[in-house]
Amino acid sequence: MMKRVYFTIGLLAVTGGLSAQRSALAPRMHHFQKAAPVLKEHRNSQGAPKSGGDVVFYEDFANGESGNNGVGAWTTSGANGSVWAYDTDGPNGDFSSTNERIQSTTVSNGFMIFDSNLFNNGCVNTNSCVVLDGYLVSPVLDLSATPNCFLSFEERLRWCCSNDPGHFVDISTDGGNTWPTRFVIATNAVTNNSITVNEDIGTHTRRFDISEAISADPSNVVFRFSHEGSTSGNITHYHWQVDDVQIVESHYNDLSMQTGDYDAYQDFGLTDNVEYNIYPYSQLRELNMRSRFLNFGSAPANATLTATVVNSTNVTVFDQTGSTTVPAHSMLDSITIDGFVPPAVTDEYDVTLTLTSDSADGDPSDNMAMKSFQVDPSIYAMDDGKRDQDANDNWSDNDGEPYLLGNIFWMENSAQVYAIQVCLASGHTDIGTIVDAQLLDENQDYVEATSEFEVTSASQLTGANQAKWITLLFDNPVTLDAGVEYTAVLENFGGSDVAVAISGESVPGQSLLYDAPNDMWFYTTSTPMVRLNFDPTIGIAESDFHNGVGLGQSFPNPAHDNAMIPYSLSTPANVTFEVHDLSGKLVLTLDKGQQGAGTHNIQLDTDALTNGLYFYTLTANDVRLTKRLSVVH
């Protein structure tokens, strides 16, 4: 018999420490409070503004540190500078695999990597882990012909174990003797995702305007990629991969959308956008559509954001604009458009956010975001609805050790949840394994667990581009309070391999893994297929209803030590419950008395029943319904 173990540990403070990451929001920001740089307005020979966009430096690392840029070689420095290395296969070590290789434009000819895991391989949970500092330094560049320019590169970044980042781009204008300008990768980078400790958000292009940084002497510029584990105090593991580095002349007009959100929700002070792919009727709220953007052009501009929402019948249900005067070069701004509340009707919506200005944009490729979401009577989900194409893109079985894995759900309104639904990945989940699901509170402490489920067939498991939902029912509905966030997780008891299917990319900080052997919580943006279900009739099919009474299939089936049986009443009724063996002998009777309208559950203790088949019968007033139950100890 499987012994249930509840994981109730709170969030850790340092390694995997999540609570420090969930800081309260500042008021809505219009721009950073710093002086705008004074820039030269570049013009062509006819006196008109130059279009910009010329690449003045490019490196694809096809020759590693020797350089393939036409200027000169790269160098490394710092106590652990040698950890920077040319690579083709991706990170290795305790917590990484080659599946996390950067997917850059020229990945086929190699890239540079700071492989912390490989350097510190084998030092997990000991005092021998080295906090790493190392720099990858560019050749000296003369940018005096293009003083208005930006640096861009493709990267894949993950770190452990500090709540503060230790990854920077530094700029020097004296050939590398001093480094007066520093850009923080995790907070100032251009990306549609933030980064949280322990997360891997995949490959992204970063872009930094360096016009002000090189203004002291643009003819003697050096930049470096700085991995400083000691700056944050404790960065020892994971990786930083860099490829396809460019310096590009700025356009005269160039707005760049940083984020495009259809649910930039800020009222509850925990995170600044909690977008879900499916909203249940009970959790519908006003959606705040927002774009954060940078002015990479060399001139100010008036910016306009247009938010358009189209439903499944191609009807435009929302079309609004907002505008602002963009601050000067390299400054961040945002526009938020409020007012769309999806109706409580099952539907799908496509959202398009378009950023325009009063002048033609020199690079319009980053001025639009397109997203979609659904409204459902009962389902609350962050996943995309089917397992990712790559059959290996799932959570590992944790080497058979216990773990919890799931997603955070914000409760706009109080509601009763009846089940947690999960998809388990085929090819990585053992037949015969037993799991359950848990509901955790905002501190990741235990609230309630579902009934257990045994995987009895490969047909219950989810392959690529599939969604085979396993419904894990609560013995009794659980009331979730408004204004609180809860975490729904699958629990693997350990002793067998269990892999949760992965579907899409969630909002950073909203998907969690608890690794029991190492007593650590981790964030992940690869979304586990774990959902909440608010349907009071879950487990009772439409065909199971007769004259206003519905009887669901016992769960799990076969039962081991107990079984949960759902039933539903359209009107109040006197309820009795009987169990008969195959010979027709009555072996158990329960008198539930008067029950109100709605969905209820019978918790059946099967310990006293021998192995075999049984029939259970529900009687509600004049209606009798019977189903079959299998018991296996």
pLDDT given for residue 411 in this prediction: 94
Specify the higher pLDDT residue, 264 or 174. Answer: 174
Helix (H, G, I), strand (E, B) or coil at 230: helix
How many other CB atoms sit within 10 Å of the CB of residue 548? 14
pLDDT digits (tens, 9 = 90+) for 351-365: 999 999 888 888 888
Provide the CATH number for the domain formed by 54-249 in this structure: 2.60.120.200
CA angle 334, 340, 342 (to 5 degrees): 135
CATH number for 255-377 (one of 2.60.40.420, 3.30.43.10, 1.10.3720.10, 2.60.40.10): it is 2.60.40.10
User: 481-515, pLDDT tens digit by residue?
Assistant: 999 999 999 999 988 889 999 998 887 778 988 98
Comparing CA positions, the residue from 282, 364, 286, 272 lying closest to residue 318 is 286
Query: For position 187, what pLDDT does the model report?
Result: 55
pLDDT > 70 fraction of the chain, expressed in percent and rounded: 85
What is the number of other CB atoms lying within 10 angstroms of the CB of residue 307?
27
User: How far are the Cα atoms of 147, 203, 328 from residue 331, in angstroms, in the given order?
Assistant: 17, 24, 6
Q: What is the chain's alpha carbon radius of gyration, rounded to the nearest angstrom? A: 28
Specify the pLDDT at position 42.
Answer: 37
Residue 79 tokens, joined = 């106590």
Strand 434-440 versus strand 446-449 pairing type: antiparallel
- Helix-strand-coil split of the chain, %, nearest 5: 5, 45, 50
In this prediction, residue 30 carries a pLDDT of 22
Given a cut of 60, is residue 188 above it in pLDDT? no
**Assigned token pair, 40:** 């030269």
Ranges 36-40, 68-72, 213-217, 412-416: which has the least confidence: 36-40
What is the reported pTM? 0.73
β-strands 55-59, 237-249 pairing: antiparallel
Between CA 209 and CA 171 the distance in angstroms is: 11
Alpha carbon distances (Å) from 254 to 43, 56, 262, 289, 299: 15, 18, 23, 21, 9
Q: Residue 528 and residue 437: Cα distance in Å, rounded?
A: 13
> pLDDT per residue over 381-430, tens digit each?
999 999 987 645 556 667 788 999 999 999 999 999 999 999 999 988 99
- Strand ranges for 173-331 from DSSP E: 181-184, 203-209, 222-228, 237-249, 255-261, 278-280, 287-295, 301-311, 316-326
User: Which position has the token pair 């990585």?
Assistant: 428
Q: According to the model, what pLDDT value does residue 51 have?
A: 58
**Contact assessment for residue 340 and residue 353, using Cβ atoms and an 8 Å cutoff:** no
Q: Which of 355, 350, 349, 325 is nearest to 337 (CA)?
A: 355
The residue ranking higher by pLDDT, 245 or 203, is 245
Main-chain dihedrals φ then ψ at residue 231, nearest 5 degrees: -60, -45
What is the DSSP secondary-structure string of 339-407?
EE---SS-EEEEEEEEEEESS--S-GGGSEEEEEEEEESSEEB-S-SS--SSTT-B---GGG--EEEEE
Task: Check residue 482 and give its pLDDT.
Answer: 94
CB atoms within 10 A of CB 88: 12
Nearest-angstrom CA–CA distance, 527 and 452: 23
Q: Is the pLDDT of residue 1 over 70?
A: no
pLDDT tens for each residue of 442-463:
999 999 999 888 899 999 999 9
Place of tokens 């020892």: 236
pLDDT tens-digit readout, 61-75: 999 999 999 999 999
Nearest to 195 by CA among 223, 232, 156, 233: 156
Three-state DSSP class for residue 186: helix
Query: Token pair of 396, please?
Result: 């590992």
Non-local CB neighbours of 150 within 8 Å, separated by 6+ positions:
207, 208, 209, 210, 211, 247, 248, 250, 296
Q: What's the distance, CA 578 to chain centroid?
A: 46
CATH number for 380-533 (one of 1.20.1510, 1.10.1060, 2.60.120, 3.30.70): it is 2.60.120
192 contact partners, CB below 8 Å, separation of at least 6: 204, 258, 259, 260, 369
CA distance 513 to 382: 15
What pLDDT, on the 0 to 100 scale, is given for residue 295? 83
Residue 119 has φ and ψ, to the nearest 5°, of: -65, -45
Contact 96, 239 (CB under 8 A): yes
120, containing H or E segment: none
What secondary structure letter does DSSP report for 14?
A: S
CA–CA separation, 554 and 618 (whole Å): 12
Tokens coding 7: 């994981």
**541: Cβ contacts below 8 Å, ≥ 6 apart:** 552
Question: Average pLDDT over the chain, rounded to whole?
Answer: 84
CA atoms within 13 A on the CB side of 364: 8
In terms of Cα–Cα distance, which of 291, 346, 289, 359 is closest to 319?
289
What are the tens digits of pLDDT across the range 114-149? 999 899 888 865 567 889 999 999 999 999 999 989
Nearest to 598 by CA among 543, 533, 538, 532: 538
Give buried/exposed letters for 263-278 (b at 16+ CB in 10 A, else e): bbbbeeebbbbbbbbb
Could you give the residue range(s) of every CATH 2.60.40.380 domain in the chain? Answer: 542-631
Residue 541 has pLDDT above 80, yes or no: no
- 407 vs 384: CA distance, rounded Å: 13
Dihedrals phi, psi of 606, to nearest 5 degrees? -100, 5
CATH of 542-631, one of 1.10.1740.10, 3.10.20.70, 2.60.40.380, 3.20.20.70: 2.60.40.380
- Identify which has the larger pLDDT, 320 or 562: 320
* Residue range(s) occupied by CATH 2.60.40.10 in the chain: 255-377
Distance CA 41, CA 54 (A): 16
Pairing of strands 278-280, 368-376: parallel
Cβ distance 511 to 527 under 8 Å?
A: yes
Average pLDDT of the segment spanning 33-37 = 28
The answer to whether 564 and 554 are in contact (CB under 8 A) is yes
